[in-house]
Amino acid sequence: MDMRSRLSAALKTAMKEKDSERLATLRLINAAIKDREIANRGEGEDVAVTDSDILAILGKMVKQRQESAKAFEEGGRLELADKERSEIAVIEEFLPRQLSEAEVKAAIEAAIAETGAESIRDMGKVMGALKAKYTGQMDFGAAGALIKAQLS
């Protein structure tokens, strides 16, 4: 089942169960996907949003909510931080399992070997290879630091 179908089925289930928090989060996800489709049309592309695009959107949404939750905690707004965390939980249901630190390091080593990267200049090739295989499964910001360390 593709991501669109899974999201649609989850949305229908949330409506039937009258789960308003889950429903609101699922609607936010659908809105973000529609925004991407509209942006693609504006750029002259008439390409539907793929599953990997949806995974990237979901990853971005999780990261935004983690930053918001942290900011709310620092500001003493714990109820808003809890709301952000509950949205993260719903979004993460549709993301693939996150790789462990050891798996991330192994994936980076494999990508370096695969691309033949020798210096920091080849970092883009390594990141491209990782994004092609592991979209939604790792934090590429943290992976970038590990790649730099290995190529230095």
Do the domains 101-151 and 3-92 match in fold?
no
Residue 76 pLDDT exceeds 90: yes
Here the tokens at position 81 are 């931080």
Return the pLDDT at 1.
Answer: 65
Return the closest-CA partner of residue 95 out of 138, 124, 128, 64. 138
Options 3.90.1150.10, 1.20.120.140, 1.10.10.410, 1.20.1560.10; CATH of 101-151 = 1.10.10.410
Residue 27 pLDDT exceeds 90: yes
Q: Give tens-digit pLDDT for 58-72.
A: 988 998 999 999 999
Under the banding of pLDDT at 50, 70 and 90, the label for residue 46 is low
Q: Looking at this protein, which amino acid is placed at residue 83?
A: K
Q: Give tens-digit pLDDT for 83-95.
A: 999 999 999 888 8
